[in-house]
Copies of this chain bind each other. A is one copy, B any other.
Amino acid sequence: MATYGINDIESWERFYRANFINSLTGFKSVNLIGSVNGAGQPNLGIFSSIVHIGSNPPLIGYINRPVNAAPHTMANIEATGVYTINHINTSFVQKAHQTSAKYEFGISEFDEVGLTPEYRDGIIAPYVKESSIKYALSLQEVIPIKLNNTFLVIGKVISIQIDEAIVSEDGFLHLDKANSICSNGLDGYYTTELIERYQYAKPGIKPQKLN
């Protein structure tokens, strides 16, 4: 085991540190966020900072970088109040990664990378047609994180599009069977394989596997 202290971390070259700290947090949910600006132009961006806030009400957050580094998605969400989150599948990883390029405001990443915007059920923000699990959110709150000028953007899930075959009897979703991927660091993408599900844990009882 090597030990790195705060002085080491602060001395690292900028990209080395970004790679290291982004990996340190572990595997991440990686998704495409679809939005639309006030003129109706669609936008698509890749985000790996999705976090579950609560199930009742169904609240999901993501971290938006400082406005000058990542301006379009949050501006659209604040302008329209609605956005979509779309799982990335193994079939379009490279296209999803390409949405991270810095396109100008008003340019549709859908067109640039070759993914298909899909409008359903009265949701004004575009879904990604190619995605097997996707949902729309209504903006609830943008919480500024003053420590580094980022934002926690929280939405309430208002509509879900999903293949019923991957929904278990108890509500658990077989994300691996849906070909959803996860990410690591800034640029690594992974498939997964189930080890096990375990029953609700109670003191003094060894956890049993769920069938």
A contact residues vs B (CB 8 Å cutoff): 1-6, 9-10, 12, 14-31, 48-61, 63, 87, 90, 93-94, 97-103, 112, 120-121, 133, 135, 140-141, 143, 145-148, 150, 152, 154, 156-164, 167-168, 170-173, 175-176, 180-182, 184-207, 210
Chain B hits for A99, CB < 8 A: 201
Instruction: List the B residue with the shortest CB-CB distance to A30.
Output: B26
Q: A98 vs B1: C-alpha distance in the bound complex, in angstroms?
A: 26
Chain B hits for A101, CB < 8 A: 201-205
Cβ of A159 and Cβ of B206 under 8 Å apart?
no
Q: A203 vs B160: C-alpha distance in the bound complex, in angstroms?
A: 31
Cβ of A203 and Cβ of B21 under 8 Å apart?
no
A54-B147, A101-B205, A141-B147 provided; 10 other pairs, C-beta below 8 A?
A24-B58, A27-B180, A94-B196, A97-B201, A101-B202, A147-B154, A181-B195, A189-B198, A191-B193, A192-B192
Chain B hits for A161, CB < 8 A: 1-3
